[in-house]
Amino acid sequence: MAYLGRRLGPSRIFLPGVSVFRLTSSVGMEDMGLAMSRSPLERLDFDNLALRKLPMDPSEEPGVRQVKGACFSRVKPQPVTKPRFVAVSHEALALLGLNGEEVMNDPLGPEYLSGSKVMPGSEPAAHCYCGHQFGQFAGQLGDGAACYLGEVKVPPGQDPELLRENPSGRWEIQVKGAGLTPYSRQADGRKVLRSSIREFLCSEAMFFLGIPTTRAGSVVTSDSRVIRDVYYSGHPRHEKCSVVLRIAPTFIRFGSFEIFKRADEFTGRQGPSYGRDEIRGQMMDYVIEMFYPEIQQNFPDRVERNVAFFREVMVRTARLVAQWQCVGFCHGVLNTDNMSILGVTLDYGPYGFMDRFDPDFICNASDNSGRYSYQAQPAICRWNLVKLAEALAPELPPDRAEAVIDEYMDLYNGFYLENMRKKLGLLKKEEPEDEMLITELLQTMHNTGADFTNTFRSLSQIPCPVEGETEGEDLIRQTTGLLLEQCASLEELKAANKPTMDPRELAMLLSLAQSNPTLFQMISDRMTIARQLDKLSKLKNLMETGQEELRSKQAEEWTSWITRYRKRLGRELEGQSDIQAVQDERVKVMDSTNPRVVLRNYIAQNAIEAAENGDFSEVQRVLKVLEKPFSAQPGLELPAWVGKGGTPEEAERDEGEEPQQEAASTSTSRDPVPYDSKPPAWAHEICVT
């Protein structure tokens, strides 16, 4: 990481209202000292190519408006009162050549990284894009809360692997929550502490899981406040304005190309730049030249270049969603405006990592139809690719795009199976039966209510069979017991299978589906009703089952699957001379593929509640845990307040915050559980919208 000069200690001097650039009488020790005392953020080397290459909105008038014929609008970030750091990611800031400690200790750091001050070379702007939201074209959307600050040149000595993933040689940086833009619609352009912490932690968690993602460099909070009704329940409250620093090669997304869309046949909305096809060509040229240079070099024919570009976006998207599925990640809002043109995870809102395995898992409480459920994600990403192809026409011929999209599901299945084989330690052979073994594992997990993350992590403890073993039944019994620890209790399964729809409403919809199918389709759908009926059926069976009977059924199912799994592991050893080496490699691969810790909702919630009460230490601690998700970390097994009597250390308290009275009944008063455990009982009450 590049950092110029050693940080000055208490002797650092800042002159209010005086720029160090004006203190340049002659070159001497005094001038060198002033230069050294500059904020490290003032030394960032900006080269804002996107603003030079893509059309800029000529108007700088404040307020929400339709922006025609432009990809960006200049904006003025709105300062917050008394900005201060909640946490920084040292690894993410290193992408910019910054030292995390230097930034944390920089008095100007929170001001620059909240948008309250503008760094030298920064050109604040907001990006114009459209999107299909929950299947319907919404027209102009754009950066309603995010603010492009500029593009920072990659510092010398950056990891070659990162340069391969980001061939542009620049990192775009944004602040999210810095105030109004022309695209804020009815909102205020602000983000609050809970949503900012969630985005910050998950951006970094995904990176350390090895999943392509935008990064988050810092979270800043403030004394400025906005009113939010968290659950849309009619009980709004004041919350602190907070800002996340986001980092990526680019934040251009599928919806960026939808600004040219003609009037939609269903919603009647059209893109603000409809008819401006030359801008579409400019955008494609920019994206391909900057972020897909090999395609630009290898395909001199424009049509072939565009087809190759679309195919690469398709491949990256298929690979990404396969990775999501394999860690139990659910994005929650897979609209076309939340899909990156680079195939990285973008925009962390009501996401969730699955606890108990459920293919119908819905992490977004606003997603009543389950459009963006866990099992729907691969198909939804394909649907979004279709919309991207439509947006790229005529630069991308529709028949060529269709042929590319036809490759998607096979590619996705291939990526998924490759990842799952690693999760099961099937490394030496690829057998046709592997797909069925994986399907049966997931079905067993679903039937028994097994925890997704911990069940996969436990599989490396199931030993391969060895020739002449005499304790096979005992081993199977032991490993069955290990997996039973991850299964749901009877009460947990009853709670999970309680229908979310009022019985009277369900009865009315069932009747309507028979008597008036057209009206039924307008207000509901058969998939939703089928899910509710399935829950009712399971709940009825559970009501007639005792805990001991349930545990016996669960043990029977796991014993059956473990027996088949060990037979398959046995075939891994065929023809191998060093059996122990094969077993050691299997365990190593599995334990570096199946995480011990993911950012479960309850872990994020504990950190949020502590931060809202002025204690930022838990956010910082959780980040440390998430930076090594595959490893045990002695001393970091439990939340920070455990052993402190529920009181954070004085040095960790936010100086700008008075402790909230209700905090005693939240995170610090709950029975703590280790970060790598199944979620506590209260976790199912968390509602994310």
Rounded (10°) CA dihedral 307, 313, 315, 316: 160
Catalytic: which of 57, 106, 143, 337? 337
The rounded distance, in Å, linking the Cα atoms of 40 and 5 is: 9
> Residue-wise over 508-533: b if at least 16 C-beta within 10 A, else e?
ebeebbeeeeeebeeebbeebbebbe
Q: Please state whether beta strands 72-74 and 125-127 pair in parallel, antiparallel, or not at all (unpaired).
A: antiparallel
Neighbours of 382 (CB within 10 A): 17
The answer to whether the beta carbons of residues 105 and 37 sit under 8 Å apart is no
Backbone angles phi, psi at 555, to 5 degrees: -65, -40
Backbone angles phi, psi at 485, to 5 degrees: -60, -25
What are the beta bridge partners of residue 173? 150, 247
The answer to whether the beta carbons of residues 200 and 215 sit under 8 Å apart is no
The rounded distance, in Å, linking the Cα atoms of 383 and 336 is: 9
CA 507 to each of CA 167, 172, 502, 504, 543: distance values in angstroms, whole numbers, following the listed order: 57, 52, 9, 5, 21
Backbone angles phi, psi at 570, to 5 degrees: -60, -35
The rounded distance, in Å, linking the Cα atoms of 164 and 161 is: 5
For this structure, is 584 an active site residue? no
The rounded distance, in Å, linking the Cα atoms of 284 and 282 is: 6
Name the H helices within 166-242: 193-208
Q: Both tokens of residue 535?
A: 């829950």
Q: Both tokens of residue 177?
A: 């929550």
Distance of CA 95 to the CA centre of its chain: 19
The answer to whether the beta carbons of residues 192 and 239 sit under 8 Å apart is yes
Backbone angles phi, psi at 173, to 5 degrees: -120, 140
What are the beta bridge partners of residue 242? 191, 221
The rounded distance, in Å, linking the Cα atoms of 372 and 369 is: 8
Enzyme catalytic residues: 337
